[in-house]
Amino acid sequence: ASTLFKSGLYKISYFKYKKFRIYVCICKFYLSTLRYINYL
């Protein structure tokens, strides 16, 4: 049961990490877009 729990915990942390990575990418894209608009 502990191994199943560990793998479940790992999956949850992996999904959280993926969400975080996507969020970071969106933030970078948003900032670069703002910078581009400011240059125009």
What DSSP letter does each residue of the chain carry, written as one string? Answer: -HHHHHHHHHHHHHHHHHHHHHHHHHHHHHHHHHHHHHH-
**Tell me, what's the pLDDT at 32?**
94
Given a cut of 90, is residue 17 above it in pLDDT?
yes
pLDDT value, residue 39: 82
The maximal CA–CA distance of the chain, rounded, in angstroms, is 59
**AA letter at 8:** G
Distance between CA atoms of residues 13 and 24, nearest Å: 16
Instruction: Say what the pTM is.
Output: 0.57
Dihedral angle of Cα 22, 27, 29, 31, to the nearest 10 degrees: -170
